[in-house]
Amino acid sequence: MMADAPMSNRGLRAQLLQTEEEWETRNSILSRHLADLIDEYCAPSATRGIEIGCQHGALTEQLQQLTNVPNWAGIDPRLTEETVTDRGCNLKPGRANQLDFPDEAFDVAVFANVFEHIPPAERDASLREIYRVLKSGGVVVGQIPNPYFPIESHSRLPFMGWLPQNWQHRYWKLAPVSWGHDFYVVTMKHLKLSAQRAGFDVVHVRNFNYPPEVIPRGVRWAARLLERPMRYMPWSWQFVLVRPS
């Protein structure tokens, strides 16, 4: 009986985590939705974009292909050196509150699933820095996951976001994921306040849910049950901020 426990854990992990195909579908859907917002709200003359929290540039490259903005850069604190992707996107190590770029360098910034990872003391400074590197009339397009969604997106555990921070770290030991706890419970209210303090206008907010084909096959039944409630308590919100002209 003891030998069966690891197999059970692996089975549960497989049910709660996306396959490579599901993950690629998720990224494709996310990039298309963000690209549509960029083309809708960006000036037709826009030429330069930056992704804040670009990891290794996969989304950065997709935005270069999908939008009318031809030149893209990215920053991420996990990068150890400056690099150029296969499609010519320049990626640099850096944090959102210290962007190594001149004033008014970009027409658009993408800020997708990053705000919840920024320590509270750095949030306002991060939005001020993004404001600084955007041109007058420039836009921020992004997404923030709903921490109160029944299945919390980082841990894949039920109701993780409802718990106090110290309880979250204990509960995290049950998470089927390979990464550690690195998020804060924030909502669009927190983002709006930081954005407005930085000088942005919040011009668009919408609920966003991924379609069933993105959800791990073993738990798609739960997604079908939650389809109606998700109209009011979505998986995430997408938003557009504008630096006033």
At residue 144, the pLDDT reads 97
What is the bridge-based pairing of β-strands 134-145 and 83-84?
Answer: unpaired
pLDDT at 156: 86
* pLDDT score at 127: 98
User: So what's the pLDDT on residue 221?
Assistant: 62
Across the beta sheet with 48-52, what order do the strands follow? 83-84, 90-93, 71-76, 48-52, 106-112, 134-145, 236-242, 201-208
Q: What is the pLDDT of residue 21?
A: 75
**How many C-beta neighbours within 10 Å does residue 148 have?**
13
Domain topology for 4-242: Rossmann fold (3.40.50)
Low-confidence spans in the chain with pLDDT less than 50: 1-10, 12
**Residue-level pLDDT at 103:** 98
